[in-house]
Structure 1
Amino acid sequence: MTFLAVARLGKYTAAAQVLGVNHSTVSRRIAALEDAMGGHVLTRTAAGWEATLLGQRALAVAERIETDLAGLVTDDDTGLGGLVRIAAPDAFTALHLVPAIAPLQETHPGLAFELISATQRVRQHRSGVDIEIAVGRPHVRKALATPLLEYMLALYAAPEYLERHGAPASIAGLAHHRVAYYIDSALQVDELDAAGARLPEPAPSIRSTSVFAHLAAAQAGAGIGLLPDFLAAADPRLVRVLPDEYEHTLAYWAVTREEALRNPAVAAAFRAIVEHRPA
């Protein structure tokens, strides 16, 4: 279970928090597993810890054990059961993912979900999750990738901020403003990086790995937010900035591996996500 947590979350510290143990305990357990298996089960990448080829063998066995354990408390008469793990950006999770899977769980009470907040590129190797939601078209072998919904990044600000600091007259004028967006060093998605790269270096700003922090910063008058239109366009506290000069179109994609789709619960969840249409 410790190995599963690290493989899914990509960090020892995150796994320790979920398991309720300290970092050294996680490290010690992984070392014991590697001693038993005779090799490294994890490798460090720019995106965090990922399973090695040996680790992928352990991952498959560990997931079968986890599924069997979940089956002990699942009533077979209720239909689908077990655990489905989904990694997705936080805005998509709140506004699309949860509404898509909630009816499925209502129909199948034995079905459980783990939703991992992640705005990152899809990994080439199995990452310990069953379904991944990515920004931009992923290029992963032996996987099913399906476009979900298109959206647009645009600039929004509170009227109070624009009254205090003035509205920029051009893209170049943004250099004199604070712009709330992702932390450059933590951004792992090329399409999101490209959206920010189209703007000049701003004044010292609030940066965050969470899009909801970007939204909150703009609402609070802490700067101009580079925000998804589905979050900001209908917000009465915000107005569009430079609508004729800046917009950046993106899309969410759902990805799952071929072997994961052999699990009926994963297949049903994937179908529910793809077929869901926001109200």
Structure 2
Amino acid sequence: MSARPSDAPPELPIEALMTFLSVARLGRYTAAGEVLGVNHSTVSRRIAALETAMGGRVLVRTAGGWEVTALGRRAVAVAERIERSLRELVEGEGGDLVHSMVRVSAPDAFTSVFLAPAMTALRAEHPSLSVELLSATQRVRQNRSGVDLEIVVGRPQVLRAFATPVCAYALRLYATPAYLADHGAPESVAELSRHPLVYYVESSLQVDELDRALQELPGSPPSLRSTSVFAHVEGAAAGAGIGLLPDFLGDADPRLVRVLDGAYAHPLAYWAVARDEGPRNPAVAATLDAITTYIASVQSAHTTVDAS
């Protein structure tokens, strides 16, 4: 075998290129290593090999994690083409590009009602895809490292990210008929001050929009509070007071009825956020499409039932 001429460009390490693609999508060496089944030092070594071959930095560390440089964006485009070609080589032309793993962070209620069934349908269509769901009700992350897609409450203020609305809903007031019969139904928002409000622990609220909903209401007497939205539902259903609940949970629970319907509602929306490179990942794009498709089907079914 003849030696490579000394003036020839260095060979591009394919393994390093594909490792870089995973880091570009996830923003963290450790997260990429978990997906690829290698340790942090291996990821670091492969990135260094790629930068040596390309003659420059492909990633730069920021406060929000690893970000892709201009040279790195060229590498991402090439890596994506190679990824598609390798998939075709293994599975034949037209092989399934939706594979590997996708990680989604979302609030509990969204995860249970929308995300879990949507991902079940997605995996039925793409069985080579692994899905990890991380439940969290918190502010949008500024780095999104370690997750491919993040579902948050309210319009996010983010940099170097892709964001799109996926579902509108409202916080409304609910109680059991028995509670209202025993304690009286409030006839105005001001009269809520006589009723325990079942909602989040105020000091633990991390989402501004959820806190604003609380500030719109009068002070509550001692009440049951929890960091879990499902505890809010069960507390209201047990007669602990009037629950401030997402309408898609409260309306679906036969134990509850709306309180001050038409007089109070706090409109909100769920948004999906991904790193800039995220939507170019076939698995992330398919995940986002599966979520919006499932939500549209649920809303359509509810519209049909209401119309009948």
What is the TM-score with the length of structure 1 in the denominator?
0.72
Deviating above 6 A after TM superposition, structure 1's stretches of 4 or more consecutive aligned residues are: none
Question: Letter of the aligned partner of 1:60 in structure 2?
Answer: R
Q: Indicate if the aligned counterparts of 1:174 and 1:200 stay in contact, CA closer than 8 A.
A: yes
SS class of match (1:209): coil
Distance apart, 1:195 and its partner CA: 0.7
Q: 1:63 aligns with which of 14, 26, 31?
A: 31
- Partners of 1:61 and 1:68 lie apart in 2 by 10
Equivalent residue number for residue 270 of structure 2: 252
Greater shift in the superposed pair: 153-162 or 125-134: 125-134
Structure 1 gaps of 5+ residues are 1-55, 71-76
SS class of match (1:195): helix
- Partners of 1:233 and 1:126 lie apart in 2 by 32
- Partners of 2:166 and 2:183 lie apart in 1 by 38
SS class of match (2:157): coil
Greater shift in the superposed pair: 265-274 or 116-125: 265-274
Q: Indicate if the aligned counterparts of 1:155 and 1:242 stay in contact, CA closer than 8 A.
A: yes
Q: 2:128 aligns with which of 107, 110, 114?
A: 110
Question: Letter of the aligned partner of 1:66 in structure 2?
Answer: E
What is the percentage of aligned positions where both structures have the same residue? 57
Q: 1:151 aligns with which of 151, 163, 169?
A: 169
Question: Letter of the aligned partner of 1:170 in structure 2?
Answer: S
String of CA shifts for 1:34-62, please: whole Å, max 9, x gaps.
Answer: xxxxxxxxxxxxxxxxxxxxxx9x95322
Q: 1:263 to 1:62 in 2, by over 3 A?
A: farther
Q: 1:96 aligns with which of 105, 108, 114?
A: 114
Q: Indicate if the aligned counterparts of 1:146 and 1:255 stay in contact, CA closer than 8 A.
A: yes
Equivalent residue number for residue 292 of structure 2: 274
Larger radius of gyration: 2
The alignment status of 1:201 with 2:219, answered yes or no, reads yes
Question: Letter of the aligned partner of 2:238 in structure 1?
Answer: A
Equivalent residue number for residue 154 of structure 2: 136
Structure 2 gaps of 5+ residues are 1-23, 39-94, 295-308
For these two proteins, the number of residue pairs brought into alignment is 217
- Partners of 1:263 and 1:246 lie apart in 2 by 41
String of CA shifts for 1:200-241, please: whole Å, max 9, x gaps.
Answer: 111111111111111111111111000111111243211211
Question: Letter of the aligned partner of 1:64 in structure 2?
Answer: A
Greater shift in the superposed pair: 60-69 or 80-89: 60-69
What is the TM-score with the length of structure 2 in the denominator?
0.65
